[in-house]
Amino acid sequence: MKETLTISVLLLLLTSCSTKQQNFVFILVDDLGYKDLGYTGSEYYETPNIDKLSKASIQFTQAYSSGSVCSPSRAAILTGKHPIRLRITDWIPGSRPKNQKLNTPTILNELPLEETTIADVLRDEGYNTFFAGKWHLGDKGFFPERQGFEINIGGHKRGSPPGGYYSPYKNPKLEDGPEGEYLTDRLTNESINFLDTVGQNPFFLYLSYYTVHTPIQPNKEYIDKFVKKLDSLSFDGPQTKPEGSGITNLIQNNPAYASMLFALDQNIGRLIEKLKEKGLYENTTIIFTSDNGGLSTLVNTYGQIAPTSVLPLRAGKGWLYEGGIRVPLLIKPANYSGDPRINAERVIGHDFYPTILKLAGIPLKKDASIDGIDLTPILREDTGLERKELFWHYPHYHGSAWTPGAAIIQENWKLIEFYETNTIELYDLSVDVSEKNDLSAEHPEMAKRLLNKLHELQNSMNAEMPTINEELEGQLGD
């Protein structure tokens, strides 16, 4: 009897070990451009640890953010829903300029507590949930600790670090560190400390760096390295080009920005090393991505130049050209073979919600209105997705010189609609990733079909649209 009991206990322990729930580390970088990394082609910036991770991950070459600015993308990641459905289509609280041709829709200034986040579900299933860094999805009462995260370090209403990147931080959810402490280091330290507390429990670590959002402040430890490196590089051609009423930077030549990226990379290296030291790396899915495209385009005011370039992609953050919505994405699944794979399937930010829950073995609720698609067929079998199109709705003005509009991609065709001018542009991304050749006149039937589909999708979610600013129209006359 005693021997039978012992065998039963051993079998139970073995079963428990073999079915242990995997952990999740989600690393979200703010305003990280598609071309800002070594493995994506940067010749000036240095990211050796991220490059190393890319060689142990699935690299997605056509990954997209759910919006071209932060709050919509962040809300979509956490809920699996399109920003239209959440009524968060601009950065919070956004801007509604009165001197523009269009009046833009109002948005929610917080992610409603009624929404179910990834953290809500994982916490209820026994996961330890931890958040560090940028939140930007609501003020008091709507912080991460009300949205499923048991621990919140630094997440509050602001989209940029209120005190900059050095202590004192002036952040109500982050105690100041010693003088000269660097924010990216601190958020990583807090994440590493959390890993020391998890024990045998599965965990969801959501590290949402403020880097590389403005203000662009050089990392004092690394700035000299990139000032010197800049002296050894040469650049051909113009540094900028016009984009609407804005200017796009065509060259990566900002040492301060480069130093911030290098510091980010060093910290990601430290975090991965800690996972390995604790024996957690193999059973952890790591997701690394950005909330929108890089800040490469700005309104043409006082000749200011954006801090990075995302060439060959067009425009940048705020725009629905590829530069504003195509982002880096690495996924290292738990217990992955370690073989690097490059995948060209189009995926988007609201796909992370159903994917993480599927990997955790947690079924979606039947009544959940989820717009994302589970990516595990790609992660496990390298098969395609049954997805017909992706679309974006950004009916707002932005400091990048973007004016209200929307976009849709179907197969290799991309259509952009601009509301101010009531015009459309059509591109074939298979041969024109830089979106230089508008084909709307050459392929009117394709343009019409995509435009109709875009409107159908917007209507299905009750998208709010801008309206004519009649007051300004009266001042301008006919």
Write out pLDDT tens, residues 211-235. 999 999 999 999 999 999 998 888 8
Residue 306's SS3 state is: coil
Q: Any idea what the CATH number is for the domain that residue 85 is in?
A: 3.40.720.10
| DSSP designation for 477 | -
Q: Is residue 410 part of a domain?
A: no
Per-residue pLDDT, 209: 98
What whole-number distance in Å separates Cα of residue 139 and Cα of residue 414?
A: 36
Residue 475 has pLDDT above 70, yes or no: no
- pLDDT band at residue 124 under the 50/70/90 scheme: very high
Residue 154 has pLDDT above 60, yes or no: yes
Structure tokens at 248: 């796009």
Q: Is residue 364 part of a domain?
A: yes
Q: Is residue 6 part of a domain?
A: no
Report how far Cα 221 is from the mean position of its chain's Cα atoms. 27
Residue 471 has pLDDT above 90, yes or no: no
- pLDDT band at residue 32 under the 50/70/90 scheme: very high
- pLDDT band at residue 17 under the 50/70/90 scheme: very low
Residue 181 has pLDDT above 80, yes or no: yes
Structure tokens at 301: 């005011």
**Residue 401 CB-half CA count within 13 A:** 20
Among 9-13, 80-84, 346-350, whose mean pLDDT is lowest? Answer: 9-13
Q: Is residue 417 part of a domain?
A: no
Residue 4 has pLDDT above 70, yes or no: no
Structural domain of 30: 22-387
Q: Is residue 129 part of a domain?
A: yes
Q: Is residue 407 part of a domain?
A: no
Q: Which residue has the higher pLDDT, 145 or 385?
A: 145
237-249 pLDDT tens trace: 899 999 999 999 9
Residue 275's SS3 state is: helix
| DSSP designation for 22 | P
Residue 16 has pLDDT above 80, yes or no: no
User: What mean pLDDT do residues 137-162 have?
Assistant: 97
What whole-number distance in Å separates Cα of residue 455 and Cα of residue 451?
A: 6
306-344 pLDDT tens trace: 999 999 999 999 999 999 999 999 999 999 987 889 999
Cα Rg for the chain, rounded, in angstroms?
23
Per-residue pLDDT, 15: 38
Among 91-95, 318-322, 460-464, whose mean pLDDT is lowest? Answer: 91-95
363-413 pLDDT tens trace: 998 777 899 999 999 998 778 888 999 999 999 999 999 999 999 999 999
The count of other CB atoms within 10 Å of the CB of residue 204 is: 24
The count of other CB atoms within 10 Å of the CB of residue 399 is: 16
Among 135-139, 158-162, 228-232, 302-306, whose mean pLDDT is lowest? Answer: 302-306
Per-residue pLDDT, 12: 38
What whole-number distance in Å separates Cα of residue 283 and Cα of residue 25?
A: 11
What is the residue type of 314?
R
Residue 255 has pLDDT above 90, yes or no: yes
> Is the pTM for the entire model greater than 0.85?
yes
Q: Is residue 184 part of a domain?
A: yes
Among 16-25, 41-50, 141-150, 295-304, whose mean pLDDT is lowest? Answer: 16-25
- Domain count within the chain: 1
Of the candidates 286, 341, 268, the one whose C-alpha atom is nearest the C-alpha of residue 48 is 268
User: What mean pLDDT do residues 167-187 have?
Assistant: 96
What whole-number distance in Å separates Cα of residue 304 and Cα of residue 275?
A: 41
The rounded mean pLDDT for the chain is: 93
Per-residue pLDDT, 89: 98
Residue 87 has pLDDT above 60, yes or no: yes
Q: Is residue 15 part of a domain?
A: no
Residue 474 has pLDDT above 90, yes or no: no
Per-residue pLDDT, 423: 98
